[in-house]
Structure 1
């Protein structure tokens, strides 16, 4: 027997453990974001619920933000090759064609991942579902020119887009 659909009403009625279990996947290996947003219930809309989660994230310490950013895998990186990505990241990277790179594209991703990691100390984050491999490569190259503070802010904004898409997929309106 399958679980009942995940609705906003059901989420609003859940205890904190159930809420985190239901939505903790939305922020890559960082269920603390969902856990801290639980207190803001009841949520009038899915958008308001996600907004509360983003409020938690925006109010978080730089260390917590960096931990969340670092929980994300490199695009087309070692975790993808070893098939150790979360189910969500696997599907998202495949949807953008990152599981079907030519040797030249793979080398370009590898080089840009290395340069980005050296420059910022964390992986490049982008909502891959809203991009394709060529736009991702362009963004990686362009964002190397950012300073670290701007890039942390951009990574958090991208995580917001990623988590919003994941929640929209999971919650029946």
Structure 2
């Protein structure tokens, strides 16, 4: 059986970008930059998943605040309208279902929608939480605890959560 990391290093550009484009939600630019770094330094970044994770996180962190905000806004609301319409990515659908967000009562769903709207109105991006392993109650507690934060605190926290989500998704590859 071939080493998966060796297989990654042998991939063609289109397959490589397709594989890594889902790690950061609707942000193919991260996978494209990872490819550029792979081409420039073929042996440096692809001998462990941790190095790939760190490199992708560095790409995001070295981007502009505007790019980061676009990345945050690419994430769906938790138990939100996109979920109800079946418009989530496969990864987001699986993550939200794992937290039980696909089984909300009408009251819970209405509360989630209210929290999503309040949060998005205040911060200009959706509430982001790495929900893998979390319960609905933990997510609700997170909403309630974080909504009073100031914009910069919440922007930084959302970026931290995005990196956690990316780490979970890489581990699932």
TM over 0.5: yes
Q: 2:14 aligned with 1:17, yes or no?
A: yes
Q: 2:56 aligned with 1:59, yes or no?
A: no
TM superposition shift of 1:6: 8.3
- The alpha-carbon distance between structure 1 residues 150 and 5, as it changes in their structure 2 partners (threshold 3 A), is farther
1:26 alignment partner, SS class: coil
2:107 and 2:54 mapped to 1: Cα distance?
Answer: 39
Q: 2:82 aligned with 1:85, yes or no?
A: no
Q: Which moved more, 1:141-150 or 1:35-44?
A: 35-44
TM-score by length of 2: 0.90
CA RMSD of aligned residues (A): 1.6
Partner of 1:120: 123
2:56 and 2:80 mapped to 1: Cα distance?
Answer: 28
Q: How many correspondences in the alignment?
A: 167
Q: In the TM superposition, what whole-angstrom CA distance separates every residue of 1:133-155 from its partner, at most 9, and x where no partner exists?
A: 10000001111121111111111
TM-score by length of 1: 0.90
Runs in 1 of length 4+ with deviation above 3 angstroms? none
Partner of 1:8: 5
1:143 and 1:56 mapped to 2: Cα distance?
Answer: 26
Correspondence 1:36-75 to 2 at 5 A: 36-38=33-35, 39-40=37-38, 41-42=42-43, 43-75=46-78
Unaligned stretches of 5+ residues in structure 2: none
Unaligned stretches of 5+ residues in structure 1: none
2:170 and 2:21 mapped to 1: Cα distance?
Answer: 10
Q: 2:34 aligned with 1:31, yes or no?
A: no
Q: In the TM superposition, what whole-angstrom CA distance separates every residue of 1:6-26 from its partner, at most 9, and x where no partner exists?
A: 811111222433211111111
Query: Which structure has the higher relative contact order (CA within 8 Å, separation 6+)?
Result: 1
2:70 and 2:62 mapped to 1: Cα distance?
Answer: 14
TM superposition shift of 1:44: 2.3
Q: In the TM superposition, what whole-angstrom CA distance separates every residue of 1:52-101 from its partner, at most 9, and x where no partner exists?
A: 00000111101110111111110111101110111111111111000100
